Amino acid sequence: MGSGKHSCGPSGACVGTFSGSGKILRPSMRSPWLLLAPVLSPAVPQVTSPPCCLCPEGVHRFQWIRNLVPEFGVCSSHVRVLSSPAEFFELMKVQIKVAKRRVVMASLYLGTGPLEQELVDCLESSLEQSLQAKFPSDLRVSILLDFTRGSRGRKNSRTMLLPLLRRFPEQVRVSLFHTPNLRGLLRLLVPERFNETIGLQHIKVYLFDNSVILSGANLSDSYFTNRQDRYVFLRDCPEVADFFTELVDAVGDVSLQLRGDDTVQVVEGMVHPYKGDRAAYCRAANKRVMDVVNSARARQQVLHAQTFHGDSLLAQEDAAAAGDRRPAPDTWIYPLIQMKPFEIQIDEIVTETLLTEAERGAKVYLTTGYFNLTQAYMDLVLGARAEYQILLASPEVNGFFGAKGVAGAIPAAYVHIERQFYGAVCSRGQQERVRLQEYWRRGWTFHAKGLWLYLAGSALPCLTLIGSPNFGYRSVHRDLEAQIAIVTESRALQQQLHQEQEQLYLRSGAVSSATFEQPSRQVKLWVKMVTPLIKNFF
């Protein structure tokens, strides 16, 4: 790590450059060495530190990620993997009720049913208690949603939250992100529902004081009952919570603000997302978000240097004597952001590097509710050395299954894409190395995404990606996304992650050429013809 413009990746090759704006200048050739992570322009001088001696070799190989983003060391006992929508819902309600300082929620939308109303009622109750307490707390609630999805229909996310805004105007903030790419005639002509295909706020972060839930799940009844996703709870991790609070605040600042009369306004001094100059808006948004990433990264580097590599042993001993020293971290959290409209591509670069660098004998379990990998990700999987098991939704558990109109054909389009990819695997003779599996569960839909990485010779994963990205064109190019890479040397946490992976894959069946001969896998000609034209929009 250093302040120059070249960065050394996990294999030691110097690659990539950065620009002063935080934009990553990517290599023109896509080779394994050129994909390694470049260094973003730091906001303050960096602290140079030698390799961390606390990490075993298996974990140390991923510390190149901190060249891009802040690295948060935590104790694995503070990390819990959730398994069901009901567990996710109940934990959120409990956490809202005990929150004293802040509740921060970022989601695509908030549904309008009774379960969603329960969440709103919990927020109202906590806000009410904060006012009536003997020593009133400064509880603040910040909610970030997507403008188009949150404004759909007469009863929508906005109308659900207006009572909170009106009753607690000083404590509640509701921000509605509007993509800068939906503007002018396009905004006027594209009808509701279809306008969401242009770009969305897709981050899913649920934060309560110093605890955080990272997930791919939205705030809607099916995500609380019978829509399978992934969820991880980071308990009492203040630095992680501060980072995601600042990130949501940053996106909130470049979003439209909901007011008590159901109108919206721009934050004072900010460029309007679709009425103002697009380039100026995107530059301002890039700076606002990258300031959060870079300042957090600089803080964590200073903390790391002071804790493990500085002249602070006496201070540590004093803190330990006072009972104030935390156990040494055995798990590292790396927040990965993808906001291509703002020229921020951190998640894409880290994901590509992981897919490229997984060695022969390693196993990658990759899952997505919508199998529509970018061409770059498909090429990397097909040309990689590691073994891949890819889990995707069968048509019956696809969220669009049975939908009216054009949306009802989307599951068939995914089948067509799946069949083409399977054909590419077979034509290369890669069937033993790259395997597809389809998730099926009666009465449920499937929305889980992420990956688990098992190093060669290991029966347990040491790294997982979990959050909002689907590995598709939309996630990479259109939407705002965030996830975390969790790297751990804790056998107990590795066991949790392994069990999570096993439970999802146990409900799946292997894909073979016979799969596509089934009546439910027959794709109409018009769907095959249209899929190449529309695959970048769903």
Question: Residues 6 or more apart from 489 whose CB is under 8 A from it?
Answer: 55, 56, 58, 59, 330, 331, 462
Write down the catalytic residue from 78, 146, 178, 202: 202
Dist CA 18 CA 416 (whole Å): 38
Between strands 205-208 and 7-8, the pairing is unpaired
CA distances from 7 to 23, 24, 36, 64, 347 (A): 15, 12, 8, 9, 17
CB burial of residue 304 (10 Å; 0-12, 13-18, 19+): buried
Dist CA 33 CA 30 (whole Å): 8
Dist CA 33 CA 15 (whole Å): 7
Dist CA 368 CA 374 (whole Å): 12
Helix axes 375-383 and 410-427, enclosed angle (nearest 10): 30
Identify the three-state secondary structure at position 103: strand
Place of tokens 């109109």: 405
CA distances from 287 to 181, 251, 281, 342 (A): 18, 11, 10, 9
Known catalytic residue at 134: no
The distance from CA 345 to its chain's CA centroid, rounded to whole angstroms, is: 13
Contact (Cβ atoms closer than 8 angstroms) between residue 258 and residue 161: yes
Write down the catalytic residue from 178, 204, 416, 498: 204
User: How does DSSP classify residue 449?
Assistant: -
Place of tokens 């969401």: 196
Place of tokens 């190019």: 477
User: How does DSSP classify residue 69?
Assistant: S
Contact (Cβ atoms closer than 8 angstroms) between residue 485 and residue 497: no
Q: Output the six-digit token pair for 480.
A: 């705002």
CA dihedral (297, 302, 306, 311) in degrees, to 10, reads 150
Contact (Cβ atoms closer than 8 angstroms) between residue 363 and residue 387: yes
Q: How many CB atoms lie within 10 A of CB 266?
A: 18
Write down the catalytic residue from 5, 93, 121, 209: 209
Helix axes 85-98 and 114-132, enclosed angle (nearest 10): 20
Contact (Cβ atoms closer than 8 angstroms) between residue 352 and residue 35: yes
Contact (Cβ atoms closer than 8 angstroms) between residue 48 and residue 2: yes
Question: Backbone phi, then psi, for 391, in 5-degree steps?
Answer: -105, 130
Known catalytic residue at 236: no
Dist CA 473 CA 535 (whole Å): 8
Known catalytic residue at 209: yes
The residues annotated with a catalytic role in the active site are 202, 204, 209
